[in-house]
Chains A and B, each alone.
Chain A
């Protein structure tokens, strides 16, 4: 005797898991790019200010 599949199996939870995973990874990656960009800009400002300080002529006593 064969059981005929009348309805699709309930795999809704797996679909939600898949799209939730996709969303989490994409948000994490975009956030990582933002954080790296912010940190690099901060480093650049610091390095440029150090360079500017070094370029200034030293005052005579």
Chain B
């Protein structure tokens, strides 16, 4: 395997720095929210992980289309990397939301439209890995993955839009709320922590995708050698 490129080494260092800054802004710089108290600080990482989680699912769908068009296995590797990293981030989003909900809504979980669609999205992508592992032939597996992520990718915009389409108790952060919804308002310092968290998680996401792509390349090489050895 190729040694870690200099660009990735730099990105690793940048990732650690932006994560540390984002944690500082969320935990110490942003003021304490008066109604919810300290737990509101998980909101910055909740949104950051949700953003890259849903972004990755959309990217995986695009990579799926690119694979179906070009039949280039690089797109399959890209799709797997995007889905795996996003599934981890989206799992964190759901749990952080649940931790926030306990003091805010007096329950860990409720079948609100946003929470339900988020849970379904996460389950769709956990199933993706389980089903993928059952297919041995690389090209067939890649074709299945491409079609699956293309269909599964629909769940990402649905999850994002659901609080704007249905009556829900989930607060609206981006865009305008309808009459029955709670709109989360932020002070200037809160906005700094919020937008920096979005930036930081985008950097972390790119770094992790890069590492996962290298891992996929290694997996592919080992798999082809194993196939040759068994022939």
Contacts and interface: CB of A to CB of B under 8 A. Distances in A.
Contact of B100 (A12, A18, A50): A18
What secondary structure prevails in chain B residues at the interface with A? helix
Contacts of B96: 18, 21-22
A2 interface: no
A58 interface: no
A10 B222 contact: no
Interface string A1-30: 000010011111011011101100110010
A60 B137 CA distance: 39
Interface residues of A, number: 27
Interface in A35-61: 36-37, 40-41, 43-44, 47-48, 50-51
A33 interface: yes
A19 B37 contact: no
Interface in B77-104: 88, 91-92, 95-96, 99-100, 102-103
A22 B218 contact: no
B215 interface: yes
Interface string B1-36: 100000000000000000000010001000011111
B99 A17 contact: yes
What secondary structure prevails in chain A residues at the interface with B? helix
A15 B212 contact: no
Contact of B215 (A17, A26, A37): A37
A10 B37 contact: yes
B1 A8 contact: no
Interface of A: 5, 8-12, 14-15, 17-19, 21-22, 25-26, 29, 33, 36-37, 40-41, 43-44, 47-48, 50-51
Q: Which 10 A-B pairs have the closest CB atoms?
A: A18-B42, A11-B39, A8-B37, A11-B37, A14-B39, A47-B225, A15-B38, A18-B99, A12-B38, A40-B218
6 contacts: A5-B35, A11-B40, A17-B99, A25-B95, A41-B218, A44-B222
Given A8-B36, A33-B215, A47-B229, 19 more contacts: A8-B35, A8-B37, A9-B103, A11-B36, A11-B38, A12-B37, A12-B38, A14-B39, A18-B45, A18-B99, A19-B45, A21-B96, A22-B49, A25-B91, A37-B214, A41-B1, A41-B218, A44-B221, A50-B229
